Each structure stands twice: as structure tokens, then as C-alpha cells.
Structure 1
């Protein structure tokens, strides 16, 4: 490498070696257990419902993440003493699950605001203006992309049908009201657009208003990608918080930068401390930290929420993190939570509070939008499903998990087990999966008198246990990215281990794109109908 001295050359070679190793199972194992790497096995979360990890440790402190599992691009709204939050829901419908909290650590679901498919949903913005609630939603079909808005008189809804704002070239809207009362959406790339007073249409052309701060060229990042602008007003200043460095890619890429202006029209002054949040090393607990929203919490203390990948667990997606911040004498703010690997004091201790929800499902009530969602559904996908007597009936569709719109839920634990009774008609194939996207999934399916193994997104026949017919109870155990499968033909009294175990740590965005997570899923392909019952989840 011309122009490099020996030390620089060795450093460059070391970075190349790290880049090649990051996506390997060896690195995932190293990051968890090896004495030569950071060991996070001593971190203890408090078990919640079904043993699911929860941030609240019960002693006035919390340990991130505040919402475990694939909850990226958090947008948070303070509404009096209540806090509401939602996240990117991508190809899952119903989507945009809104969460509620009083203490910022314990969160409960409210409703899924988006019912009508408008494409893959990225980085929405939740806002309230003059008593009405708004969600600004970037979404993309393969041949169409734009930013939409839905609105409601109450956070619980009913939420309107999507309105197209005709913004095909941008993502990640950030809503703000200027000093003269004008409403704006700030957009990716340092652009913005003025809105009509009702917030339901553009009131002008997109304009470029800010050149984001740029990191040194020798930093290890994915790409520049200025996105996720969040605007707040404090005192005489407007603050713009932006993500740069790429969302996934190298763990040290994603970061948080800040600029400020006395007017919403600029000029914008970059924070001399940029970036204020950045993963410095692959040995840290949380990777790719970014897409932050600062806000004033209880008792006048300030916080910010953002997302990050958990060291060794890209498969869980980007999880929601909470960090305290403090304001400096010269009017900037600084994070106070370190690398977020240690417990922090809770913003407000209200005693025992409910958090999360059970993932086990007896299919007696409709949990679509709260727990379950179709992957990449057609407009009439819900017509495939009916519940009757504790059984979920699903009409078969397509030929494989890749084209049958599996029904998935988000898991946030490093190790867990799911079980379900599955029954199929002639011509149908159905089963349990760990599903990432149409190209990458693993699990086991049942067809009459035979099993179908899924691995790498490919499928082949599997040895059928004695007595297998049209019904079988299936069990998937995901133990820190190692999948083990069991089958039972006697309603779970005895179990037979399937002959293939699978290592799935590579089932994530840096391998297959789409910014998703590996999720427990039900699928029904072929013809006829499949029936699911007694779905259970247990964190290990």
C-alpha cells in the first residue's frame, strides 16, 4: 500500500481482518464468551412475562434495551405525563405499533396505527399538533416510494387511511413547527419541505437547507447516508439531530451528530463535539448506535432514545436504547450513559409497572398488529385468516415460505423456545420458522405424512417420525443463534430431536439486506388450509 508506513499498514490489515470476521459465527461466539474479547455473559436482565428480558431491574435502575428485539428508528412523543413511541415496521402488516409509558422504561402496546399496505415502512415520525396526532411514514414498494401521513383525534385511533405527500426522493421525516408557526418536514440529506397548516400536504418544493457534518475519511463506516433528522426547540435554539455513517455495516459506522440554529431557516451551526454518540470499538456491548431523539423527561431531566445492534446478535435487529443527557453551559447537550453496558438510574420510579406482552397465543383473540403481522402482504391478506375454538385457520398461499406471506412476531431474547400444534389439509405445507426475509429462513414444515426442512432459505425433505400424519407439534429452540428442532406426534408427551441443527447467526441485514430481524413465524403454503393451535413462547 503506497504511502503507508509499517504501523499504518498493520492497522489497515487489522481493520480488514476485523471486517472479514464480523459476520462470521466465530466472531459472534468470540464476542460472547472468549476471554480475548468482551464478555457480556455477566449482564443480568430481569425476567418479565414468559421470562422475556425487561429493562427495569426492580431496584430503581434499568439495563438497556428498554424495548428488546427489532424496534428500530424510535420516534418518541411526550404528551403531558405520557410518552408514546413507535418504530419502523418494514414489511409487517398491521404495522406501526404504538407503545405507551409513564416512566420511559416500562412500555405497553396501544394499537397498530397502519392497516393499509403502502410498502416497506422506514423511520416514521410521531407528532402532535393542535390536539391532533400525526404519523409521517416513508414507505416503498419495488416500483413506488413516497412519504405518507395518517392522522387521528386520539392516540388510540381511529387512524386515517394513508395520504400520499408525493415525496419520492427522501426518507426519515422529522416534523417541526418554526418560530412563525409554519409546519415543516425535515428530510434525509439535509433537505426540508413546508407543509400546509393541516399537515396533510406539501406547501412548496423540497429545498436543501443543511450540509451535514462529515466524519474523517479514515473512519470505518458503511456510508455517509445523512438521515433521520429530529428537530427540537429549547430556549432560543432549534436543534437538528441527524444520523450519519450508515445504519448497519461495520459496528463503528452509525453515529449521532447535532447542529443548531436560532431560526428554523438557518444558518445551522455544527456541534464542535460531533459525533456525540458513536460505537468506538467492536468490543462494546452496543453497535451502530444512532437515529436519536432527545426529549425532556420526568422532573425536567433530558434523555434521548435511539437504536443499536447488540454485540453478537445482529439477528435480533436494532433495539431501542435510552440514555440520559445533560446540557452544557454553551448550549449543547452531551450523553451521560457511557457504552450502555451497565445499569442506569430510572427516570422515574413508579414502583412495579407492566411491561411488554405475552407472545404465547391460544388464538382466542385477535393479536394481529400487537403481536402478529404478515410479511409483505397482499391488500386482502387478512381474509386468509380466521379464529375458531382456539384454532388459527390459515388458507395456504404460494409454494414456499418465500412467497406465502408468513405470519411472524418479534422476539427480543438471546435464547428462547417456541412450540405450536400444526395440522394440514391435502396439498398444504405448514410449519414453524425462524424467518428473516423471503431469501433467508430456517425451520421445519409439515405436509401430510412428511416433513420439509428449511435451511438458508432452501428446502428439502426430512426424515419423518414414526406415526406422522396430518398433525404434529413442532418445537424450535433458538439458543444464542443455534437452532434445534423437535417434533411430537403425541401432543407434546414425547419429543424426537430432528436430525439437523442449524447455526443462524448470519441471518441478518449485512448478509441479506432489508434491515429486519430473525423472527418466529408460522407459514402455510400450497393448497387448502393449515391450522395452528397452542402457540407457546418461553425465554431461556
Structure 2
């Protein structure tokens, strides 16, 4: 991107207001929160995306903005690795790397074969080998395992463990060296010594703590167990209350036992995390893990929805914890609306990645771009040639074309791209939740096609022919489209605006987020050049 075009892009978007923090309460006796002054805006990184490290010894949640649900974290010496539910995005299960728990970089995707919608996984290292235990929603539902001798792979082909009635596995090793998968609903099953098959039947070992019936929740849904061994105790951390629904539903509870075989004792302070008011900064907080920082302090990673932004999906959050004299622990970050002192130690890596793409090298497939519900061989549709992304057409519209999508974590952003279509082709830019809920703008050589509510609607005349430049602006759920026939020197606003605050899980289901991206349908192949993204 040359300097003049970069400046023009910035000037065109200069009206975008930065996302502001919302006030909230600090928790009881916070040991790391700083409640004295109003919290600042987030720090900005690649493409002006917000990042949590404030650069002054503090950080401000979210840890990873945008849809990063069900965090599975692994401490591996001085390195930390984390991955998230990737659902129908493939390549999936991108591995993120950190040295300080606050700054994270994506590495590679571990799962390339479409085995279904990937839910909450378990990322483990045992006897020098890495394992991912992967629950999928498919026909039938099941739990798979893949393994690798290096975190960057190559990862094995998925092995079906034949567990059709459970989700959210967590690998655990007992005091006797036995290997187990703990499962949703308080169940578990034993694993073979190599961790690649099960032994015996699923057994019920734990009845989770239940909240008062007067609380506003989605459902009981005990899920996401995480097992941690610390100072002679096994701690089981579980999510209850439902993942979405009412903002006050999702929560974190804990139990402990001296043996991996129980009995399990409920934490007297349950729930350890819960949104209690609709005006808090973060809604539906839950699905927690514990991890030790480089300086020996302890932290919890979990997810939550940002107040008013269900569309961004469940974002990763970091909460300091304190071990108490009776051997339990508590969260000390309050409602996470204020800056928190960073853990000490560890050399930070550059946080995040640029979403802009000049297509000058191999496509960052899996690390940045993902197909939605790809068919076998879907990656054969895409190639990069001298600064051009060539995407072969598939289907007739975004719904059946397996669009290429990004995770954008800001409450406002704009993205634009040069698009050239082949005769008979249709292509464009989208904000995509799933195949039944999306919006955007596409064109063929004679007409535009307006995508709204997951349907193809207006088809006004296209005066630009088979090549144009298109911009999509999503400013706090208000969407506008602009078009240029001279490479971005002059722009004309397209006469259709949209509002997308309802494009989310509580309307459609599916646990996804509204993602920016591009599609190619009809005939031939579309060419995309100079893709630029900027957070507002």
C-alpha cells in the first residue's frame, strides 16, 4: 500500500470514534485492579486494533478481542499456548503463543480436516507430546483427538473416540498416573496410556453446585470442566448457567478433591465469577481455566460477551486470582472494567496480527483467514498471484459459497478491497454470521446484489462493470457501503444502509460472531487486491 493511498484511507475514516470503556464495580479487595482514575481507552496495535497491554505495566480486558471462546491454555516451560472453539471455521484451532500471558501471537491452525463444528477443546502436553481433544457437533456428535510432537505440528489426522453424548473434554492425569477425560455433566472416562482411545464406560463422578432458582440464567448446563492440580489438591472448575441468554446466566464454580477419583467438595464461595447486573462491562462470564504466570502469580482465563456487543462473540478475558488460607482461590479482578497490573516476567511477543493483506506472500489460511463450512478440497479454490488473491467461484451467494472470513474484535471498523470478477461471476464483501444470517454487497457485471438478513434483496444497476473498489464500514452496528471506480481516489456511497446489532447468537444460535470477509460465487474466479482493514 503506497503512502498516499494509506493517508487517503485514514482520512476517509477519521470520523470514527474510539470505543469507550463502561464504568463498573471493582471486586472485593482487588489486589491488582487500579480503581482510582477513570479507565483509559485501549492501546492500539496493528491496523489500529485495540490491544490489552497499555504499555505502562497494566492491561485492560479483553485479553483477545473478538470471538475467542472457551479458552484452552497450556503452560509449557516459559511458553504459553492457547486455542479456542473454532466451530465451522477451517482451518481451525489456531494455536496462539505468549511469554507473559498478556501479549499473544497466532501461529498455525492445528485442524485442517472438516470434522464438524468444533466446540470447547482440551490442549495438553503429556510425556513430551501435545494433544488436542476436540468435541464436534456433527452426525453423529463425537469427541476426537489429534496429537503432535511439536506445537506447530504436523498434527495427526483426527481419531474418533466414539463419545457421542458429551462435550467439553478435559484431559487430566491422576496421582496414580492414570489418564482421564472429564466431560460435561460431571462425567469422566478413562484414557489408554497413549491417550488415543478410551477404556471402559463413561461414569458419573460429580454433581455440580446449583445456583438459586430465582437467578436469571439460560439453563443449568454444567460444562467446560477444567482440572488443575495444586499443592495436593485436584481442583475442578466448571461453567454452569448457560453460555449466552441472560447476561447474568453464565458463571464459574469450583470443587476440589485429594484424589482424581474424588470425592469432590464444593467451593463454599461458589459462584467465583458471575455477571450480576446488566450494566456491567462484561456479560455471561464463564468457562474458566487457571494458569501460573512467569512471576509465580496465578490467573484465570475465561470468556465473556462485551456489553452491547453480542455480535463480537465471546471474547477472552484475564482475571487475577488469589489463593486463600483454606486452600481455595478467588478472582480479584472485579467486573474487569478497569486496568489491572500485569503479571511480572516473560518477554512479550508482538500482540495480534494485521488484518490488512496485500497478498504479497502465501495466504495466512488458518492463522488469519478461514473458510466457513468448507467442503473437502476447499483450499484448492484459493491462490495468491503477484499481489492478487484469486478465489474460484462456488455456489450462488454467500450462503453456499464458503466465504473467506476474519475475526475483527473492535466495536467499529472499516475494510475495503479492489474486486475484479470474471464473466458470469459475482463477488463482494460481507459481514457474515452464518449461512442464514449475513449482510453485505456483491456485484456481477450488470447489477449489484444487496445481502441483508441472510437473503439476496435489491439488485440496482452496476455502472462500474467487472472491476471496482468496495468499502464496508461497521460503526457500532451501523453499516455503510462505499464504491469507487478509480481505485479509491473518489467514492460514492451506496444507497442502502443497515443495522446489525441483532446478528448474533441470542437471535440465531450457533455461538458465532459477525465476521468481515469476502466471497466469490457464480462462474470463473474473482480477484481481490489490496485488502485494507482499520479499526475505528
Q: In structure 1, the residue corresponding to 2:206 is in which secondary structure?
A: coil
- Normalised by the size of structure 1, how large is the TM-score? 0.91
Aligned to 2:451: 454
Residues 351 and 234 of structure 1: CA distance in aligned 2, closer, same or farther (over 3 Å): closer
Question: Which residue among 93, 113, 117 is the counterpart of 1:116?
Answer: 113
Query: Whole-Å Cα distance in 2 between the matches of residues 34 and 44 of structure 1?
Result: 10
> 5 Å matches for 1:80-119?
80-119=77-116
Residue 505 (structure 2) aligned to one of 494, 504, 509: 509
Q: Which of 122, 129, 132 in structure 2 is aligned with 1:132?
A: 129
Task: Indicate conservation of the 8 Å contact 2:99/2:348, yes or no.
Answer: no
- Structure 2 residue 314 is matched with structure 1 residue 318: yes
Question: Of 380, 400, 412, which residue of structure 1 is paired with 2:377?
Answer: 380
1:443 matches 2:440: yes
The equivalent of 1:177 in structure 2 is 173
Show the counterpart of 1:525. Answer: 521
Contact 1:450 1:461 in 2 (8 A): no
* 1-structure distance, mates of 2:125, 2:270: 29
Aligned with 1:430 (options 427, 430, 434): 427
Measured in 2, the distance between the counterparts of 1:359 and 1:230 equals 32
Q: Does the residue aligned with 1:524 lie in a helix, a strand or coil? A: strand
Q: Deviations over 1:505-529 (max 9, x none)?
A: 1000000111000001111112222
**2:141 counterpart of 1:154:** no
In structure 2, the partner of 1:414 is 411
Corresponding residue of 2:66: 69
Residue of structure 1 in register with 2:350 after alignment: 354
Distance (whole Å) between structure 2 residues aligned to residue 538 and residue 464 of structure 1: 29
The answer (yes or no) to whether the contact 1:401–1:438 under 8 Å persists in 2 is yes
2:261 matched to which residue of 1? 265
Cα deviation for residue 425 of structure 1 reads: 1.4
Of 398-407 and 67-76, more deviation after overlay is shown by: 398-407
> C-alpha root-mean-square deviation of aligned residues, in Å?
1.9
Matched, 1:256 2:252: yes
Once the two structures are TM-superposed, the CA of residue 255 in structure 1 deviates from its matched residue by 0.1
Q: Which residue of 2 aligns with 1:469?
A: 465
The correspondence of residues 217-228 of structure 1 with structure 2, limited to 5 A, is: 217-228=213-224
User: Shift in Å at residue 353 of structure 1?
Assistant: 4.1
The 2-side partners of 1:418 and 1:349 are apart by 36
Q: Deviations over 1:104-135 (max 9, x none)?
A: 11001111000111000000110000100000
Inter-partner Cα distance in structure 1 for 2:90 and 2:347: 34
Any idea what the Cα deviations from partners look like across 1:155-211, whole Å, max 9, x if unmatched? 111111101000010000011000100000000000000000100000111111111
Q: 1:33 to 1:123 in 2, by over 3 A?
A: closer
Q: Taking structure 1 as reference, are residues 371 and 193 closer, same or farther at Cα in structure 2, changes over 3 Å only?
A: same
Contact 1:446 1:472 in 2 (8 A): no
Name the counterpart of 1:367: 364
Is 1:243 the counterpart of 2:268? The answer is: no
Q: Secondary structure at the match of 1:461?
A: coil
Deviation track 1:288-309 (CA, whole Å, cap 9, x = no partner) reads 0000001221221110100000
> 2:534 matched to 1:534?
no
Q: CA deviation at 1:32?
A: 7.9
CA shift for structure 1 position 315? 0.5
Find out whether 1:401 has 2:398 as its counterpart: yes
- Give the total of aligned pairs: 506
CA distance in 1, matches of 2:516, 2:226: 32
Of the three residues 198, 202, 209, the one matched with 1:202 is: 198
Aligned-pair distance for 1:239? 0.5
Aligned partners of 2:263 and 2:244: how far apart in 1?
30
Segments of 5+ residues of structure 1 without an aligned counterpart are: 1-30, 36-40
- Say whether residues 1:490 and 2:486 are aligned partners: yes
Find the residue that maps to 1:144 and give its secondary structure. Answer: coil
> Separation in 1 of the partners of 2:283 and 2:184?
22
Mapped to 1, the partners of 2:48 and 2:176 lie a distance apart of 50
Give 1:33 shift: 10
- Which SS does the other structure have where 1:300 is aligned? coil
Residues 1:145 and 2:141 are matched in the alignment: yes
The 2-side partners of 1:153 and 1:459 are apart by 47
Displacement of 1:393 after TM fit?
1.2
What secondary structure, in the 3-state scheme, does the structure 2 residue paired with 1:417 have? strand
User: For residues 184 and 357 of structure 1, do their structure 2 counterparts lie closer, same or farther at Cα, with a shift above 3 Å needed?
Assistant: same
Q: Is the 8 A contact 1:422 1:446 kept in 2?
A: no
1:17 matched residue in structure 2: none
Q: Which residue of 1 aligns with 2:476?
A: 480
Query: Could you tell which deviates more after superposition, 336-345 or 296-305?
Result: 296-305
**1:530, CA displacement in angstroms?**
1.3
Select which of 298, 303, 318 maps to 1:302: 298
CA contact (8 A) 2:105 2:349 kept: no
SS at match of 1:292: strand
Would you say 1:54 and 2:45 are equivalent positions? no
| Structure 1 residue 146, shift from structure 2 partner | 0.5
Give the TM-score normalised by structure 2.
0.92
Residue 344 of structure 1 and its aligned partner are, at CA, apart by 0.2
Aligned partner of 1:7 in structure 2 is none
Give 1:34 deviation, angstroms: 11
